[in-house]
Structures are given as structure tokens and as C-alpha cells.
Amino acid sequence: MILHLITDRRRLAGHDAPWPEQRTCLLAQARFAIDAGIAVLQLRERDLDAAVLYDLTVELVAMAAGSRTRIVVNDRADIALAARAGGVHLRGDSLAPAVVRRFAPAGFLIGRSVHDAGEVAELAGAVDYLIAGTVWATPSKPADHPLLGVDGLGRIVAAAGRVPVLAIGGVQVDRIAEIAKAGAAGVAAIGLFIGERSRTDRAGGCGARSLLELARRASALTTVAHPPPE
């Protein structure tokens, strides 16, 4: 089961927290992710100034060096390449994956968000993974928003062939086995990787937490969904 952590410094540290506290909290979360062997950490801080985003990416890449965690940058292929990140995650309105592939080095991960199986065919051969959603309702995507559900997720998995598909939207630990049974290779999430923030200071504390137990449970639930052959 591929675990793909997407950052959100405001949810992690508190919307009113100043940038230095948000940065410290985000780096703490990255350290927990690396220590737990989380496969991908997607830096998704789209409102940051390009220079600040570049410096943060460089710091995360250095932190993850020698580990199994890959750092990818949301949307900004230019920053991902300049900072020698492991890849880029593209939105539907980003550069086409095939364009990025032309100037990306070998081994550079290119991911793309998709919302239905019809989007998959045009991406064949150009992406290393897909993030499919929204699967279940979330606070930002309530039940009246178009949702894939497990069946829709399965259709994207079937259309993707050998390209790994990660589920996003309403992902909780107790749904991981269901996601695996649908054929998805993993999960991508923000809230799944954030713990309760303390209320002891004005910034609301930091939701960074150890992810070792989460990684262990995800692995166990995947094994239940796909038991090894006798």
C-alpha cells in the first residue's frame, strides 16, 4: 500500500499561525513521514512565493536523502526540477504530463489527478501514478459534490492498467482494505496524516505526529485485503 502524504501547513499548524511556526510544524511532519517510510510526500503549498517554495523544497529533499521517501511538488515542475525533487504532481489544468516528460530526468516521478475513467486514456505512457478522487465525502467536498465511490475508483483502476492509482477523498484507516480490494495501489491524503492539535497556545499547536503506527496498520489491512498465496 503506497502512502502519499499531501501537505497543508494551515491545517497542520493552524490558520492563524505565523509562517515560522507553520514551517517548523511542516518540517516536523516531514520528519515523521520519513521515519515511518511514507513513500511520497507531496509539497502542496500553492500560495507560497516561488523563492520560499524553492527553499522549502530544497530543505525537504535534503531531509529525505537516503530514505525511501520521495519529495514531489504540486504543480510547479520548474521548482521541482530546480530543487532536484523526486517529481511533480500535476493538476488537471497544469502542464500536460507528456510535456514535462520531455525535459524531466530519468526517474523523475510525474503524477496526475483524475476524476473519472475517461481522463485516463490520454495520460497513458506519460505518468507514473494517478490520484483518483473524490472517493468519499469530505468537509471540502460534501455528499452533494460528485463522488467516485468505490465503484468509480475501480473503473479508474481498470482503465489505468499498470499505472498505480491512489485513492483520495475521505480516506480513513478503516477504509484502506476496501480501497485495496478495489485494486488501488495506495492512498493520498491530508487529514489522515494529521493528529489532534493541542490548544495550549494561540496558534493551536501542531498536528504533526508519529506515523509509524499508521504505516503498520495500512500494511496489515492491505495484507488482509490481498492475503499472500499459500
Residue 56's CATH number: 3.20.20.70
Would 126 be classed as within a structural domain? yes
In DSSP notation, the chain reads: -EEEEE--HHHHH-TTS-HHHHHHHHHHHHHHHHHTT-SEEEE--TTS-HHHHHHHHHHHHHHHTTSSPEEEEES-HHHHHHTT-SEEEE-TTS--HHHHHHHSPTT-EEEEEESSGGGTGGGTTT-SEEEE---S--SSS-TTS---HHHHHHHHHHHHTTS-EEE-SS--GGGHHHHHHTT--EEEESGGG--PPP-SSTT--------HHHHHHHHHHHHHHSPPP-
pLDDT of residue 201: 45
Cα end-to-end distance, the chain, whole Å: 20
pLDDT mean over 166-189: 96
Would 63 be classed as within a structural domain? yes
Would 229 be classed as within a structural domain? no
Angle at the Cα of 60 from the Cα atoms of 108 and 81, rounded to 5 degrees = 35
Q: How confident is the model at residue 205 (pLDDT cuts 50, 70, 90)?
A: confident
Would 189 be classed as within a structural domain? yes
Question: pLDDT digits over 188-200, tens only?
Answer: 999 999 997 654 4
pTM over 0.75: yes
Number of domains, the chain: 1
pLDDT above 90: residue 90: yes
Which residue segment(s) compose the domain that 182 sits in? 2-224
